[in-house]
Structure 1
Amino acid sequence: MSLRVASSIATSALRTSEVGIAVASSNVANAGTDGYTRKTAATVTRDTGVSTASVDVTSVTSNVDRFLLKTIVSAQSDLGAAKTRDSYLDQLQSAMGTVASDEDSSGSDIGSMIDALSDTLATLATAPESESAKAATIQDLSDLAETLRSTSSSVQSLRAQADDEIATTVDTINDTLDTLNDLNDQIVKGKALGQNTTDLEDQRNTALKSLATNIDVTYQVDDSGLMRISTSSGKSLLDSSVHELSYTPAASVSASTVYSASGTSGFNGIMLSGSDVTGSSLGGTLGALVTLRDSDLPAQQASLDELATTLMDTLNAIQNQGTAYPAPQTLTGTESVSASDALKVTSGTLRVAVTDSSGTAAEVLDIDLSTLSTLQDVVDAINTMSNASASISSDGKLVIQADSADNGIALGGDDGAFSTAYGMNDLLTGTGASDIKVAGRITADSSLLATSALSDTSGLTAGDTVLTSGEGSVASALKAAFSASQSFDAAGGLTGRSTTFASYAGAVIQNAATLADTASTAYDSQETYTSSLETTFSSQSGVNVDEETAAISTLQSAYEAAAAVMKTLQEMFDTALDMVQ
């Protein structure tokens, strides 16, 4: 073997040891760096042609299990979705209130407030003439309505929060895609120049996992080092350039705000390259937010609305069977009508009575509704009375009033069918949980609460007693409504059922609690699973400081041995030169 070949072999050994030491030292220095993977110097033996091989470094590579990385990326998407659902559904459960325990009946939930109202109505039923009992009833009913409105508002606030967070998440996704695009450029250029790009690849993998937390993705890396990323439904997010998402949140959110592809009557679509991807399987935080905003939270609103509307329909039907004592001078309907409208009630007898403050009739008119066709016919019939008049107001409401301020108007005779149809004596107003409230006139004057009913005795005329102070049939019916089973339609996550108001309210609250508990369990499970994958990845691809330190020691010994060979070769070369001089 010539001195030149020996020198080449020794130089190669020095260079290989030097690169190995640098790589191992970098591993130790970055052992605590998030996303860093262990690097190794790949070597190859080269034939020198004299039966002796040299060793050279061909590249520096990362020790990464690509299949495990794909599994982690997928798990990150599930974790992002689970974490988001857990957070929102926990807030929803809090908004629903706390169910009272057996020891404590003062729960803040809707069911407890219904129970409190039921107790107050029991008192009213025993003393229907009591002004304090009426005032207490209206106060409890107002509190219940306020709680329903507040709970509904909390649900809509969560929807608005989710909608705003969708926009924020879209921005975050776009920022991450920009980062990935920059890293793609650096890696592709570095590989083309034969440079070490493993640290850049680690950064890209970290950014990829961050992206997957917000949206479910698939990806592949080509031979040039370029990473291509798509949504789970196949829409490209990153190739040679970034394809950004875009979203504009709604200006305001109410129970009637729903997703609309056109964006003209509700939530806008999430756009990607001109396509609306809102309905696709977005996954991650973004997908969870869309599902919460458009499905989970509206379902909870629907069950609240079912409770509110059933409560309104039931109590209003009872109230419209009766009258306050003494009767009010004016009754104004809540339904929007016009004179030419066909009658909503076409059978039975409507009794219209004008009474004084003691319940004595000034005038009584019985109207056979089967002989009339339109609402104007009823107005005309009432206007034949000497002590009362009827009209349709400028805002389209039926108005019946006693002509004298000393008298009042009471309706009866048809089990409240006519009064209910036109809302002449409604106790509650609104369209659902978001706007339910006690009728303004009753809130202002609790004595207008109907507790008794107009006498149904036939042939009543002026001078007859048509109302009595102690008559409490309507008050008793109100009390009975809270102990009787009511019919509830399927709404939200609840099936149709026949149960009490308090039990249905409890089911609404329990449903929210179940959703929150399920979400919490799913999040804990997913977090554990993802953490175990990361641990496995770290054990396979992470840095073991002890092993790297031992490797550095071994490489230093090899470096010193190669250096000694080089020194010896240099001395032999010098001796050979001296011999030829």
Structure 2
Amino acid sequence: MTFNALSTATAGLQVTQAQVGIVSQNIANAGTAGYVRRTLTPITQSGNAGVATGTVDRVLDAAAQKQLRLETSGAAYTDLVAGIAKQLDALYGTPGSDAALDGAVNAFTRSLQTLAANPTSAPNRTAALSDASRLTNRIAGIAQGVQDLRGGLEAQLASDVSAANTLLTEIAALNVKIVGATGSVGSAATGAELLDQRDQRITQLAQYMDVQTTAANDGSVSVLTSSGVTLVDRGSATQLSFDARSQLGPSAVYSTDPAARGVGTVTATTPAGTRIDLIADQAIRSGSIAAGIGLRDDTLVQAQRQLDDLAAGLARAVSDRSVTGIAASGAGGSGVDIDLTGLQPGNAVTLRVQTAAGPRNVILVPTTGNAPAAIDPALTDDPTALVATFDISGGPSTFAGRIGAALGPGFTVSAAAGGAGAVRILSGGVALTGASASITVPTSAADTRSGGTQLPLFVDSGYGNSVHTGSFEGGSHLTGLAQRLVVNPKISADTSALVSYQDGTPSGDATRPQALYEALTGAKRTFSAASGIGGVSAPFSSSVQSFAQAIIDAQGAAAAQAQQLDEGQQIALSTAQSRFAEQSGVKIDEEMSKLIQLQSAYSANARVLTAAKEMLDTLMRI
């Protein structure tokens, strides 16, 4: 009996000592990030041998941990989106201020109004050109800021992908160590530490991308994206890479065609050698990497498009004349007559048709033979339209034949009464309900006295200071126009062109400056739905001045919404962290209470051991 008591008390002391060690470790790591509280579960030994130390367990709430990782990914996503939205909004300036985009537009229109009131004033003409130049510089500065943000995101994506790749490698290595960490209490404690390290790295990985885990019976885990791409399988890790570009311009966009892609992409190479474009497969849906991709390829590309559309609207509002078709009928069915005299490459002709599915636009883009065979509808006013090109290099007499060939069967196109380029378009199938075009009047930057009020006030410096017509010759002239639009040097050298629209125009004639003012503030133009202003599937119609204001309003609203979403997501993350800490974190008071209990148990076992020793000593003296 004495020997049993000694054995039981000794085992009790060993277990209590081990438990004190675990509690002490919990207390010492109360503030350690990623540390999960441990407990030691004693086991009863056979016979009357007392207890053994058993296993070291982590008090882990798997559901709370899963939610924590989900909210971590979401918080990283919204944080980056809110940060970039705030920076983007700041580029446009405080609405209404002189330094803001709308302030620059308003200053220019006011100077035109002042010039119209006193056309003979040379200072007024100089002031108008100065404000026009300040406006183009402001648009270019904002557009460059947009591209700088895209370049910063490109660099951040490279850094984030590299960090995520390192974490994947470390998780795979920890899997191997965990599988081998079995046996004694010491190795069990080491295993718990390894599990903590692995869990912490997976949570860190969640900051970069949305991940989920699957546990194996041997203690290892597989890590996958929420879309199902395997990133870690036991001891093997997928390698991530990002082919970053040093500089991004307006035309540098993502494409699934490697030859056309102008930005970096995230590539996953599996241990078997399979390569996966994670952007093309939309495999990353949350975290900072997903946010960076969305901002770089969607949000900021749309911001560039808004500025390009504004620049194009600014140029063409003062240089184009609007043409509207007149209802016509004939043997081929109902249709329109429209005068396209003076049509230049890029001066799109829009036909409105009524189909069984509803109204739709057909856009005819004139070219001189150097435009792409297929033009992306997103580069036109209506991204949902059917787009076709027709060659105008043969002159106005060929317009009817070329348009007929572009439209194909179901339409009859012929010359009509009116100008040299007037055509009649009849439809024998779908109902043709209307037609319109915006035709650029000046044929060159030097054509400042064409007889009309239109003026090539703004030119495209990237294409030899040419008049912007919306041309696709050699590629879209719209893309990047915000950075290239400048005041026509010909007019800067001869400011009288702001007033004189033909030889012999009186110096006090306010016709042209008044027309320029009205073209920017009153006349409505169609701005593409691809700019995100006014709706996703419908073009936006407004004056150039109103469009500039709409851009600022949209960016301000987007920044406010992004901030609100981020604040809500940060609350969700904080809640998830609190829940996880409540279940798996160390509570000092609770651990100290356990420590007191263990001290009492240790003292009790020690007293038993002392009593047994004294009894044994007495027996030995007999």
AA in 1 matched with 2:158: A
Specify whether residues 487 and 418 from structure 1 end up closer, same or farther in structure 2 by C-alpha distance, changes over 3 A only. Answer: closer
Of 246, 253, 274, the residue aligned with 1:258 is: 253
Alignment of 1:491 onto 2:530: yes
User: Which range moves more in the overlay, 184-193 or 551-560?
Assistant: 184-193
Paired residue secondary structure (1:229):
strand
Q: Are the equivalent residues in 2 in contact too, given 1:298–1:492 (CA < 8 A)?
A: no
1: distance between equivalents of 2:164 and 2:395? 59
Match of 1:534 in 2: 577
Of 202, 214, 220, the residue aligned with 2:214 is: 220
Match of 1:149 in 2: 140
Of 46, 55, 61, the residue aligned with 2:51 is: 55
Paired residue secondary structure (2:531):
coil
Paired residue secondary structure (2:219):
coil
Note the 1:223-238 alignment, pairs <5 A: 223-238=217-232
1: distance between equivalents of 2:27 and 2:142? 55
1:531-572 deviations in Å (ceiling 9; x for gaps): 111112112211121221221122112112212211222232
AA in 2 matched with 1:492: S
Of 449, 469, 474, the residue aligned with 2:507 is: 469
AA in 1 matched with 2:277: D
1:62-96 deviations in Å (ceiling 9; x for gaps): 11101110111111111111111011111111112
Paired residue secondary structure (1:245):
strand
Of 594, 597, 603, the residue aligned with 1:551 is: 594
Aligned residues between the structures: 493
1:375-426 deviations in Å (ceiling 9; x for gaps): xxxxxxxxxxxxxxxxxxxxxx98899xxxxxx99433x7869999999997
AA in 2 matched with 1:437: V
Q: Are the equivalent residues in 2 in contact too, given 1:170–1:247 (CA < 8 A)?
A: yes
Specify whether residues 180 and 192 from structure 1 end up closer, same or farther in structure 2 by C-alpha distance, changes over 3 A only. Answer: farther
Match of 2:605 in 1: 562
Q: Are the equivalent residues in 2 in contact too, given 1:260–1:268 (CA < 8 A)?
A: no
Match of 2:239 in 1: 244
Specify whether residues 191 and 522 from structure 1 end up closer, same or farther in structure 2 by C-alpha distance, changes over 3 A only. Answer: farther
Match of 1:364 in 2: none
2: distance between equivalents of 1:62 and 1:195? 10
Match of 2:276 in 1: 275
1:189-247 deviations in Å (ceiling 9; x for gaps): 11367532112212221111110010111112222211210112211111221111101
Q: Are the equivalent residues in 1 in contact too, given 2:453–2:515 (CA < 8 A)?
A: no
Q: Are the equivalent residues in 2 in contact too, given 1:169–1:214 (CA < 8 A)?
A: yes
AA in 2 matched with 1:301: Q
Q: Are the equivalent residues in 1 in contact too, given 2:445–2:456 (CA < 8 A)?
A: no
Match of 2:131 in 1: 140
1:256-281 deviations in Å (ceiling 9; x for gaps): 11112343331233110211111314
Match of 1:31 in 2: 30
1: distance between equivalents of 2:259 and 2:468? 32
Shift of 1:469: 2.4
Q: Are the equivalent residues in 2 in contact too, given 1:427–1:449 (CA < 8 A)?
A: no
Q: Are the equivalent residues in 1 in contact too, given 2:444–2:466 (CA < 8 A)?
A: no
Unaligned runs of 5+ residues in structure 2 are 270-274, 322-343, 347-366, 370-391, 400-417, 423-441, 470-476
AA in 1 matched with 2:90: S
1: distance between equivalents of 2:289 and 2:24? 41
Note the 1:308-319 alignment, pairs <5 A: 308-317=311-320
AA in 1 matched with 2:52: D
1: distance between equivalents of 2:32 and 2:577? 14
Match of 2:328 in 1: none
AA in 1 matched with 2:522: A
Q: Are the equivalent residues in 2 in contact too, given 1:86–1:519 (CA < 8 A)?
A: yes
Note the 1:53-452 alignment, pairs <5 A: 54-100=50-96, 106-191=97-182, 195-196=188-189, 197-239=191-233, 240-265=235-260, 266-273=262-269, 274-279=275-280, 280-282=282-284, 283-317=286-320, 341-343=393-395, 370=420, 410-412=449-451, 431=478, 432-443=481-492, 445-452=493-500
Paired residue secondary structure (2:521):
coil
Specify whether residues 417 and 507 from structure 1 end up closer, same or farther in structure 2 by C-alpha distance, changes over 3 A only. Answer: closer
AA in 2 matched with 1:451: V
Shift of 1:500: 2.6
Specify whether residues 341 and 262 from structure 1 end up closer, same or farther in structure 2 by C-alpha distance, changes over 3 A only. Answer: closer
2: distance between equivalents of 1:232 and 1:7? 56
Paired residue secondary structure (2:250):
coil
Alignment of 1:513 onto 2:516: no
Specify whether residues 19 and 507 from structure 1 end up closer, same or farther in structure 2 by C-alpha distance, changes over 3 A only. Answer: same
AA in 1 matched with 2:35: Y
Specify whether residues 302 and 182 from structure 1 end up closer, same or farther in structure 2 by C-alpha distance, changes over 3 A only. Answer: same
Specify whether residues 567 and 130 from structure 1 end up closer, same or farther in structure 2 by C-alpha distance, changes over 3 A only. Answer: same
AA in 1 matched with 2:197: Q
Unaligned runs of 5+ residues in structure 1 are 101-105, 319-332, 348-367, 373-396, 402-407, 456-465
Paired residue secondary structure (2:245):
coil
Paired residue secondary structure (1:136):
helix
1:36-76 deviations in Å (ceiling 9; x for gaps): 1221111122342xxx5722221111111011101111111
AA in 2 matched with 1:227: V
Q: Are the equivalent residues in 2 in contact too, given 1:111–1:501 (CA < 8 A)?
A: no
Question: RCO higher in 1 or 2 (8 Å CA, sep ≥ 6)?
Answer: 1
User: Which range moves more in the overlay, 189-198 or 510-519?
Assistant: 189-198
Paired residue secondary structure (1:411):
coil
2: distance between equivalents of 1:217 and 1:33? 23
Q: Are the equivalent residues in 1 in contact too, given 2:396–2:420 (CA < 8 A)?
A: no
AA in 1 matched with 2:524: Q
Specify whether residues 170 and 527 from structure 1 end up closer, same or farther in structure 2 by C-alpha distance, changes over 3 A only. Answer: same
Q: Are the equivalent residues in 2 in contact too, given 1:28–1:543 (CA < 8 A)?
A: yes
2: distance between equivalents of 1:524 and 1:418? 48
1: distance between equivalents of 2:229 and 2:123? 67
Q: Are the equivalent residues in 1 in contact too, given 2:102–2:545 (CA < 8 A)?
A: yes
1: distance between equivalents of 2:448 and 2:572? 71
Taking structure 1 as the reference length, the TM-score comes to 0.78
Q: Are the equivalent residues in 2 in contact too, given 1:43–1:59 (CA < 8 A)?
A: yes
Match of 2:518 in 1: 480
2: distance between equivalents of 1:139 and 1:278? 45
Q: Are the equivalent residues in 2 in contact too, given 1:80–1:284 (CA < 8 A)?
A: yes
2: distance between equivalents of 1:249 and 1:26? 45
Name whichever structure is richer in strand by fraction.
2
2: distance between equivalents of 1:113 and 1:427? 22
User: Which range moves more in the overlay, 89-98 or 568-577?
Assistant: 568-577
Paired residue secondary structure (1:498):
strand
1: distance between equivalents of 2:540 and 2:87? 27
Specify whether residues 115 and 419 from structure 1 end up closer, same or farther in structure 2 by C-alpha distance, changes over 3 A only. Answer: closer
2: distance between equivalents of 1:295 and 1:540? 40
Specify whether residues 192 and 437 from structure 1 end up closer, same or farther in structure 2 by C-alpha distance, changes over 3 A only. Answer: farther
Paired residue secondary structure (1:214):
coil
AA in 2 matched with 1:57: T
Q: Which has the larger radius of gyration?
A: 1
Q: Are the equivalent residues in 2 in contact too, given 1:428–1:438 (CA < 8 A)?
A: no
1:499-534 deviations in Å (ceiling 9; x for gaps): 232221111011111111111111111111111111
2: distance between equivalents of 1:211 and 1:180? 10
Match of 1:523 in 2: 566
2: distance between equivalents of 1:528 and 1:410? 63
